[in-house]
Structure 1
Amino acid sequence: MASLAQQSGGGPMSIYRRLLHLLKPGLSWIMLTALLGCATIACGVGLLATSTYLISAAALHPEISTLAIPIVGVRFFGVARGVFRYLERLISHRATFRLLAELRGSLYEALEPLLPAYLHNSARNAVTQRSSGDVLQRLVQDIETLQHFYVRVIAPPAVAVLMGGILWWFLGRFGGIYALLFLICLFLAGAGVPGLSYLLSQRLARRLVRLRAILHAALLDGVLGCADLLAFGQEEWYLERIRQQQKELGTVQVFMARISGLQQTLSSGCAFICAWLLLATALPAVHAGRLAGTSLALVVLAALAGFESVQSLPMAFQYLGSSQEAARRLFEIMDTLPGVIDPPGSPLVHDSTLEVRHLSFRYAPHEPEVIHDLTLKIPAGRCLAIIGASGVGKSTLVQLLLRYWEYEQGNILFSGHELRSYRREDLYQHISVVEQHTTLFNTTLGGNLRIANPQATEEELYNALRQAQLHDFVQALPQKLETIIGEQGHTLSAGERQRLAIARAFLKDAPLLILDEPSANIDALNEQSILQALQALRQNRTVLLITHRSSLLEMADMLLEI
């Protein structure tokens, strides 16, 4: 059978190339961000240099007219710096968030064909089991982590190089030694410190992403399994497990904070060492008359202000490992091949006859068969009930009929055509499923019903509820169809949830109906109401019924035990 072929996200350079490739649609915005960043820092340098010159010149008590241009310059650079910084942050974050939104959409589009097999692999399968918490972490937190890459790693280095070149030229006009000292210190702060930060933190940063994913998955498991943990008295065991994971995560975060403090100290140290070196070099030049006294502070403070261009680089490179690990986890999903490949088109459906011929299925080549040489046929409009012990493949058969998995031995025919010749999207237009565990969303009753038919009118919704024996209950609610039913419909009883699932099937009105333990975990009173609803639902439909309840067998025209 076709398996989920998971490929590696590749090495660091491969991952970075793919991240940069995603940047192409927004490249012009990133370039604009870099230019605005340069303008911001240039205004900062100009503000400090001009104000320094103004103070130095004013100390000589010149005529006020000679100070007019520096005074205007201070005002201009002060206002312009704030404007350019605002525009730079606005555009960079807008471009980044738009890019991350597109990436999240692309990831979901890649994930959708893999489901539900991607999440519901059993421990015996060849493919490693995944948790919904881990997938949610990738869709949300891992994509958010990439902010560090797109906001701090792309434009800031370009800004640092450009501003470093401009200041090198500017300081060179006062003396080559000043430009050289500035360039050496700027290189140490802009390349040496970020490089050291990356070497110290790359493993910790990747581990940080993995530990967050583990903790997120464990917390989600705890929320979903809270009732069982309390019922079996295991809440302390679970809390201790969470404490240990939080402790491990906290330890990594402390180390990352220490590295952050170290790189900030080194970066600031490079700037101040540069200032002292320039001061020590410029003072003799002033005494010798090679440098004007009013230019002394200007040279020192202009260089000091220029270090703003490399200020964010160490932090960006510190979290480069996190971005790399987050991207690897995202590309792992995007590189996973779906277990079921859709054909380019689907044949026409003439009737709802379902036939299975000598079907055998196993999850992996080295595993035992879950279904062995199964043959059955359900003529259009008839009902076949399948009974059998747990684990003989009844639910697996339902998954194969829905094309969650691909089969290789035997045939499944729908309307006379091989099931794999249908696109899943087209196939689902002709199939309704009522399972023992119905997925209900935290929205209104009407919203949950419209999953089966988004264009359904209110009259059609009430008609489906009436056929499912749920009309009177909904009419008695204060908000009727606008009632919020909570996550998984927790405000409803088990019988009401199941009848809501049946109402969905009525609303969809598909010719093939699959009932997988539709009355499981339902008491006798509710079962009778559900049975009446199912009897109405099966009219003029081809039905495959899987059940352990003898009360449901009266619906069937045929019986098959496997």
Structure 2
Amino acid sequence: MNRRMGIRLGWAVLAGAAADLAGLGLIAAAAWLITRAAEQPPLTALSVAIVATRAFATGKGVFRYAERLTGHDVALRAQAGTREQLYESLIPPQRPRHGGADLLSRMVDDTEAVQDLLVRCLLPAAAAALTALAAVVLGLFVLPVSALALVTGLVVAGVLLPVVTATAARRWSARIAPARAALAGRVTDLVHGSADLAAYGAGDRALDQARHADTALATLERRQARVHALALAGGTLTQGLTVAAIVLLAQDAGVGSVATAVLALTALVSFEPVLPLAAAGERMAGITAALRRLKDVRSTSPAVTEPSSPAPVPAGPLTVEVEDLVVRHPGAQGRPAVDGVSLTLTPGRRVALVGPSGAGKSTLLAALMRLAEPESGSVRVNGVDIRELASDDVRTLMTGLTQDPYIFQTTLRDNLRLAGPDADDEGLTRAVREARLEHWVERTGWDTELGEDGRTVSGGQLQRLALARALLYDPPVLLLDEPAEALDETTADGLMADLLDATHDRTTLLVTHRLSGLERVDEIIVLEEGRVIQRGPHDRLVTEPGYYRDLWESEVLTRR
């Protein structure tokens, strides 16, 4: 929190305290006025109390409005700042520790803890302390022994009960946030994966798991609600007993009906800002757990290390040299995902990576885009190690189509313009034509709104749309990860042919399981278990015994 927000928070505390003190003064003045008026004194004896009552009534509303306005402004700014910090901490690629639904729960629910900390805990506590102090001072002035009873009641309601409720709620609150995240994950799976669940007959099981997560969360929340109810009952009981004790003490002391009424009603009102502290103590346990979860996300180590003084971006044309690159997945044991791979991409050169699933092809692309940290070896662009460049700069040089393209819930045109904000209609049309998507675009229209995460398009359309976006971005080095995935054989062959035409004289690294059209690339590298087992042009590899020839013969037989 910066200095300006700290000052605004201080004003909110003062305004809240002033509102509570005005309420306390209102009750004290009104009590004195009513009881004194019953004795039928001259009107002039009541004039000061009448004016004070009106002033306190007006001031309470004004100060409460100021406290709400200032306090919520600070709280909402603090919440927005926390969400911004959390979002910024997620922008650099991180080691995978949290699922998407869990992160969404932390972004939406846990960041509200910052707002609750200010509005429901700190501000009420500060205002309650000042109001309680004023009530005790008034008691000392009128009847000192009543102040002792009032202090006892206020300590019980404002200190002991919040501590007890916080301790009891902590047991459940530490489990409620993960349970809420688990339910969010189950619901997300049901919503986004409904088609797949139905196809595999797993819908009922997924629904049962969601119901179980909902039941577990409801059970925890009911237990927390019991704590809240007991705290409220305990505070109300303490308030009543304290007021009764003060009335008895005042009667024994013989201070008169006016003083007795003032003391009793003042004590009653002084509990109003104190009683919510028990709920604040209960909420504090949940806030603490939420803040720990936010800290856990912010403290997640980035997948790559940024240089303290990034080197300038190399100017084109670019030559990419990968030398003895070794990449290991975080926490993985045994063989690295990429083990001693070397390759060279000169300007206009096209290289294809093939191999079985898990061979390390996508991991190699991730390392080139600075989404994964090499264990050893190097990747150099015009002689500059990419670890000396800012990650964002690396991705302006080498990027393209990844395995997890994301489609936003907006129009087709806007989804494409993410890659080229200034692209005109001609550029957009050329990109969709190269991705073999023009017929679908003509049929649906440029302004068709696509569902979140591509739910309203097929897998093939999603893949081709992401490919069109990569072609529109047109980086100096184009990286393509399985561009023909999720397409039927005819469409995939046509797409690969168009893609190879579109990347003519364009530096390209292509990851694929399909060998159709690879006779047109400059070099084919076969990976297995992270290592290069074959490399060379298509014409030579189909004549050598090994994985590539076996896969080629299998494709030929399939096509027949």
CA distance 1:463–1:237, change in 2 (3 Å): closer
Question: How many Å apart are 1:99 and its aligned residue?
Answer: 0.3
Report 1:118-517 matches (<5 A).
118-119=95-96, 129-286=97-254, 291-343=255-307, 344-347=309-312, 348-363=314-329, 364=331, 366-435=333-402, 437-471=404-438, 473-477=440-444, 480-517=445-482
Alignment partners' CA distance in 2, 1:264 and 1:52: 26
Look up the equivalent residue of 1:359 and give its one-letter code.
L
Report 1:58-69 matches (<5 A).
58-69=37-48
CA distance 1:495–1:256, change in 2 (3 Å): closer
CA distance 1:141–1:216, change in 2 (3 Å): same
| 3-state secondary structure, aligned to 1:52 | helix
Question: How many Å apart are 1:208 and its aligned residue?
Answer: 1.4
CA distance 1:209–1:36, change in 2 (3 Å): same
| 3-state secondary structure, aligned to 1:173 | helix
Look up the equivalent residue of 1:73 and give its one-letter code.
A
CA distance 1:495–1:158, change in 2 (3 Å): closer
| 3-state secondary structure, aligned to 2:77 | helix
Q: Is the 8 A contact 1:215 1:246 kept in 2?
A: yes
| 3-state secondary structure, aligned to 2:142 | coil
Question: How many Å apart are 1:101 and its aligned residue?
Answer: 0.4
Alignment partners' CA distance in 1, 2:489 and 2:267: 84
Alignment partners' CA distance in 2, 1:38 and 1:56: 27
Q: Deviations over 1:136-156 (max 9, x none)?
A: 111111111333222222222
| 3-state secondary structure, aligned to 1:513 | strand
Between stretches 100-109 and 368-377, larger displacement belongs to 368-377
Q: Deviations over 1:150-208 (max 9, x none)?
A: 22222222222222222222121112112222112111111111111112221212111
CA distance 1:246–1:500, change in 2 (3 Å): closer
Look up the equivalent residue of 1:189 and give its one-letter code.
A
Question: How many Å apart are 1:100 and its aligned residue?
Answer: 0.7
Question: How many Å apart are 1:307 and its aligned residue?
Answer: 1.0
Q: Is the 8 A contact 1:353 1:378 kept in 2?
A: yes
| 3-state secondary structure, aligned to 2:215 | helix
Question: How many Å apart are 1:551 and its aligned residue?
Answer: 1.8
Q: Is the 8 A contact 1:445 1:482 kept in 2?
A: yes
Q: Is the 8 A contact 1:355 1:378 kept in 2?
A: yes
Q: Is the 8 A contact 2:78 2:114 kept in 1?
A: no
Alignment partners' CA distance in 1, 2:325 and 2:422: 37
Report 1:42-57 matches (<5 A).
42-57=21-36
Look up the equivalent residue of 1:294 and give its one-letter code.
V
Look up the equivalent residue of 1:526 and give its one-letter code.
T
- What is aligned with 1:88? 67
Question: How many Å apart are 1:473 and its aligned residue?
Answer: 4.3
Q: Is the 8 A contact 2:463 2:485 kept in 1?
A: no
Look up the equivalent residue of 1:320 and give its one-letter code.
M
CA distance 1:246–1:212, change in 2 (3 Å): same
Alignment partners' CA distance in 1, 2:404 and 2:492: 15
Residue 542 of structure 1: which of 507, 521, 525 is its match? 507
Residue 108 of structure 1: which of 87, 97, 110 is its match? 87
Q: Is the 8 A contact 2:78 2:115 kept in 1?
A: no
Q: Deviations over 1:518-561 (max 9, x none)?
A: 00121134324423441343133111111121223144122222
Question: How many Å apart are 1:436 and its aligned residue?
Answer: 5.1
Alignment partners' CA distance in 2, 1:555 and 1:326: 55
Question: How many Å apart are 1:235 and its aligned residue?
Answer: 2.1
Q: What is the TM-score normalised by the length of structure 2?
A: 0.88
Look up the equivalent residue of 2:515 and give its one-letter code.
S
Q: Deviations over 1:303-330 (max 9, x none)?
A: 1111122122111111211111111111
Question: How many Å apart are 1:24 and its aligned residue?
Answer: 5.2
Alignment partners' CA distance in 2, 1:544 and 1:283: 93
Pairs aligned (count): 524
CA distance 1:189–1:49, change in 2 (3 Å): same
Matched, 1:531 2:496: yes
Alignment partners' CA distance in 2, 1:331 and 1:106: 11
Question: How many Å apart are 1:464 and its aligned residue?
Answer: 3.1
CA distance 1:25–1:109, change in 2 (3 Å): farther
> How large is the RMSD of aligned CA atoms in angstroms?
2.1
Alignment partners' CA distance in 2, 1:415 and 1:150: 53
Q: Is the 8 A contact 1:346 1:426 kept in 2?
A: no
Q: Is the 8 A contact 1:485 1:491 kept in 2?
A: yes
Alignment partners' CA distance in 1, 2:340 and 2:318: 23
Q: Is the 8 A contact 1:387 1:546 kept in 2?
A: yes
| 3-state secondary structure, aligned to 2:243 | helix
Q: What is the TM-score normalised by the length of structure 1?
A: 0.88
Alignment partners' CA distance in 2, 1:192 and 1:252: 23
Q: Is the 8 A contact 1:502 1:533 kept in 2?
A: no
CA distance 1:32–1:493, change in 2 (3 Å): same
Question: How many Å apart are 1:223 and its aligned residue?
Answer: 2.2
Residue 98 of structure 1: which of 77, 81, 94 is its match? 77
Matched, 1:552 2:517: yes
Q: Per chain length, whose mean CA-contact separation is higher, i.e. which structure has more relative contact order (CA < 8 Å, sep 6+)?
A: 1
Aligned structure 1 segments of 4 or more residues deviating by more than 4 angstroms: none
Look up the equivalent residue of 1:296 and give its one-letter code.
T
CA distance 1:411–1:500, change in 2 (3 Å): same
Between stretches 239-248 and 399-408, larger displacement belongs to 239-248
Alignment partners' CA distance in 2, 1:520 and 1:467: 16
Look up the equivalent residue of 2:376 and give its one-letter code.
Q
Look up the equivalent residue of 1:228 and give its one-letter code.
D
| 3-state secondary structure, aligned to 2:91 | helix
Look up the equivalent residue of 2:188 and give its one-letter code.
L
Q: Is the 8 A contact 1:502 1:534 kept in 2?
A: no
Question: How many Å apart are 1:406 and its aligned residue?
Answer: 0.9
| 3-state secondary structure, aligned to 1:168 | helix
Look up the equivalent residue of 2:12 and give its one-letter code.
T
Q: Percent identity?
A: 33
Q: Is the 8 A contact 1:211 1:249 kept in 2?
A: yes
Q: Is the 8 A contact 2:400 2:471 kept in 1?
A: no
